[in-house]
Amino acid sequence: MHIIAFDSHKRYTLASVQGIDGRIIKEARINHSRGNILCFLKQWDKGSPVAIETIGNWYWIVEEIEHAQMYPRLVHARKAKLMLGMINKTDKLDARGLNKLQQTGTLPTVWIPPLEIRDKRELPRTRMVFAHQRTRLKNRIHSVIDKYGLQYKFTDISDTFGKEGRKMIQESLVLLPEQTRYALETLLHHLDEVEIQAGRIEKRMKEVFHPNEETKLLMTMPGIGFILAVVISLEVGDVSRFSGPERLASYSGVVPRVHASGDKVRYGRLRPDTNRYLKWAFSEAGNSVAANREKWPHRHVSKIYGRVRHRQGHAKAVGAVARHLAEATYWILTKREPYKERGISRVSRTEA
């Protein structure tokens, strides 16, 4: 058996092949084209481990490793670099470093989802892109309305972009200067296009993702609907890969950094190097809880939000709710039981 490591970039991969004894057998640069990596790997023993860092284009490289009947090992790039602690950095040194970690059994790996899950993830992730675009467009439109003192027209309207709100925006266009009016009309047109595309993705998701046991269980949590349940289910994957609820919460990016020294403990911002899709999903659920807390005053998440908001503000309160939901997700998927309210025996469907 051989030990193989890839230092992959956008257009090429530097491969380093070593024997079990650590002797370098071959190092080669492989230009990126479908089939080139497969052809290179066919020279070596089947079942050999192949380490590759979590770069943007690892999907197709892992597929070629699997087709070569090798064992792909997806490496946590940041942790690997910290463990190696190398001053100098070249492609060859990086690849050799990964092989060194493989030899010592300390290679920091992450879970590789099956091909079917990798494929299906693209739907909710693309929907998230449209959701971000929609939010930015709405914020820009609100900015224009505020700049020209038109916000008073929307005081009695709950949704600025609902039927009545859009009608009011159209009526307000005549009050704006020529170029601003043109810009606002462009923003509204783009918003409509984004809404249409997001709707198509959601329709496709409902066709592809039929409600299964996992999504139904996740939807018992407050603030979690079908779309968020699908995102959480796909991104978590096999929940047994997490040793506990705190690990899943950390992976989801809803645990703040901790700075402790002596008797002083300070909690910082949320970590950036996490699964941003899970972070978005749990944060969306937290915002939903914040928006509906008056309807659910007796629910545990509403009490968490109210208690933290009173001391630290809205953003920290949403983060606290998101962390609670992430930890609850671990127990729901592990025990295969619906979400349980503390101190409440039953919650009606209308409050779920």
Q: Tell me what percent of the residues of the chain surpass a pLDDT of 90.
A: 69
3-state secondary structure the chain: CCEEEEEECCCEEEEEEECCCCCEEEEEEEECCCCHHHHHHCCCCCCCEEEEECCCCHHHHHHHHHHCCCEEEEECHHHHHHHHCCCCCCHHHHHHHHHHHHHHCCCCECCCCCHHHHHHCHHHHHHHHHHHHHHHHHHHHHHHHHHCCCHHHHCCCCCCCCHHHHHHHHHHHHHCCHHHHHHHHHHHHHHHHHHHHHHHHHHHHHHHCCCCHHHHHHCCCCCCCHHHHHHHHHHHCCHHHCCCHHHHHHHCCCCEEEEEECCEEEEEEECCCCCHHHHHHHHHHHHHHHHCCCCCCCCHHHHHHHHHHHHHCHHHHHHHHHHHHHHHHHHHHHHCCCCCCCCCCCCCHHHC
Give me the pLDDT at residue 329, please: 97
Give me the pLDDT at residue 121, please: 93
**Mean pLDDT to the nearest integer, 281-288:** 94
Give me the pLDDT at residue 28, please: 95
Give me the pLDDT at residue 176, please: 92
- What architecture does CATH give domain 3-112? 2-Layer Sandwich (3.30)
Q: Apex CA 73: angle with CA 233 and CA 336, to 5°?
A: 25
Could you tell me the two tokens for 144? 């224009």
- What is the maximum span of the chain, computed from C-alpha positions, in angstroms? 78
Which is more confident, 210 or 108? 108
Q: List, for residues 150-185, the tens digit of each pLDDT value.
A: 888 888 888 889 888 899 999 899 999 999 999 999
Q: Looking up tokens 């809803």, which residue turns up? A: 254
Is the pTM higher than 0.75? The answer reads yes
Could you tell me the two tokens for 344? 């409440």
What pairing do the DSSP bridges indicate for beta strands 49-53 and 3-8?
parallel
Q: Where are the domains of the chain?
A: 3-112, 119-208, 213-351
Given a cut of 80, whether residue 343 has pLDDT beyond it is no
Give me the pLDDT at residue 344, please: 52
13-22, 127-136, 259-268: the lowest-pLDDT one? 259-268
Q: What integer best gives the mean pLDDT of the chain?
A: 90
**Mean pLDDT to the nearest integer, 90-115:** 92
> How far is residue 110's CA from residue 48's CA, in Å, rounded to a whole number?
18
Given a cut of 50, whether residue 219 has pLDDT beyond it is yes
Give me the pLDDT at residue 253, please: 92
76-80, 93-97, 214-218: the lowest-pLDDT one? 76-80
Q: List, for residues 24-40, the tens digit of each pLDDT value.
A: 999 999 999 999 999 99
Cβ neighbours of 15 (radius 10 Å): 23
